[in-house]
A and B are shown apart, each in its own frame.
Chain A
Amino acid sequence: MFTQYFGNYLLNKGYLTAEQLHDALEEIKDARLKLGVLAVNAGYMTAEQTEEVNEAQKKYDKRFGELAIEMGYLTEEQLKELLSSQKYGHLLLSQVLVDKGIMTLSEFEKAINEYKRDYSISDKEFEAIQSDDVNEIINIFIKFEGSKNEKLLKDYIALFARNLIRFIDRDAVIKEVSKLEVYDCQFAAKQDISGAIVLTTYIEADENAFIQFASKYAEEELSSVDEMAEASVGEFLNLHNGIFLVNLSNQGIELKMTPQEVFKDIKVEKLFKVSAELSFGCVNILIQEH
Chain B
Amino acid sequence: MAKETFKVLICDDSILVRKKLKEALSALASFEFLEAGDGQTAIDVYKKERPDLVFMDLVIPVKDGITAVKEIKEFDNDALVVIASSSGTQENLKKAIKAGAVEFIQKPWEQEQLSNVVKKFLKKGE
Q: Does A65 contact B (CB under 8 A)?
A: no
CA A144 to CA B87, docked complex, whole Å: 25
In the bound complex, do residue A239 and residue B86 qualify as a contact, i.e. CB atoms below 8 Å apart? Answer: yes
Q: Inside 8 A of A250's CB, which chain B residues have their CB?
A: 90
Q: Inside 8 A of B106's CB, which chain A residues have their CB?
A: 246
Q: Does A254 contact B (CB under 8 A)?
A: yes
Q: C-beta contact mask, A198-233 vs B, less than 8 Å → 1, else 0?
A: 000000000000000000011000000001100110
Given A246-B106, A259-B60, A235 contacting B89 (CB threshold 8 A): no
Total residues of chain B contacting the partner, CB 8 A: 19
Q: Does B52 contact A (CB under 8 A)?
A: no
In chain B, what residue has the closest Cβ to A253? B89
Kindly specify which of B11-19, B26-34, B68-76, B117-125 makes contact with the partner chain. B11-19
Q: C-beta contact mask, A256-280 vs B, less than 8 Å → 1, else 0?
A: 0111100000000000000000000
Given A228-B15, A259-B13, A246 contacting B61 (CB threshold 8 A): no
Q: Inside 8 A of B61's CB, which chain A residues have their CB?
A: 259
Q: Does B59 contact A (CB under 8 A)?
A: yes
Q: Does A113 contact B (CB under 8 A)?
A: no
In chain B, what residue has the closest Cβ to A214? B16
Given A242-B107, A259-B59, A235 contacting B17 (CB threshold 8 A): yes
Q: Does A238 contact B (CB under 8 A)?
A: yes
In chain A, what residue has the closest Cβ to B16? A231
- A242 interface neighbour in B13, B85, B90, Cβ under 8 Å: B85
Q: Inside 8 A of A246's CB, which chain B residues have their CB?
A: 86-89, 106
CA A257 to CA B13, docked complex, whole Å: 14
Q: How many contacts A-B (CB < 8 Å)? A: 55
CA A257 to CA B92, docked complex, whole Å: 11
Q: Inside 8 A of B89's CB, which chain A residues have their CB?
A: 245-246, 248-249, 254-255
In chain A, what residue has the closest Cβ to B17? A235
- B90 interface neighbour in A232, A243, A249, A260, Cβ under 8 Å: A249
In the bound complex, do residue A243 and residue B86 qualify as a contact, i.e. CB atoms below 8 Å apart? Answer: yes
In the bound complex, do residue A232 and residue B87 qualify as a contact, i.e. CB atoms below 8 Å apart? Answer: no
Q: Inside 8 A of A245's CB, which chain B residues have their CB?
A: 87, 89
Q: List CB contacts (< 8 Å) of B35-94 with chain A.
A: 59-61, 85-91
CA A241 to CA B90, docked complex, whole Å: 15
CA A249 to CA B87, docked complex, whole Å: 10
Q: With both chains docked as a complex, state the minimum distance between the C-beta of A223 and any C-beta of chain B, in angstroms.
A: 16
Q: Inside 8 A of B85's CB, which chain A residues have their CB?
A: 242
- B15 interface neighbour in A231, A248, A259, Cβ under 8 Å: A231
In chain B, what residue has the closest Cβ to A163? B108
In the bound complex, do residue B108 and residue A239 qualify as a contact, i.e. CB atoms below 8 Å apart? Answer: yes
Of listed B17, B86, B108, residue having the most chain A CB within 10 A: B86
Given A227-B15, A259-B59, A239 contacting B107 (CB threshold 8 A): yes
Q: Inside 8 A of B60's CB, which chain A residues have their CB?
A: 259
CA A59 to CA B56, docked complex, whole Å: 74
Further 16 A-B residue pairs, CB within 8 A, beyond A231-B15, A242-B86, A242-B107: A227-B15, A228-B16, A228-B19, A231-B16, A232-B16, A234-B14, A238-B59, A242-B87, A245-B87, A246-B87, A246-B88, A248-B89, A249-B91, A250-B90, A254-B91, A259-B13
Question: What are 6 residue pairs bridging A and B, where the CB atoms are less than 8 Å apart in the complex?
Answer: A228-B16, A231-B14, A235-B14, A238-B14, A242-B59, A246-B86
Residues in chain B within 8 A of chain A (CB atoms): 13-17, 19, 59-61, 85-91, 106-108
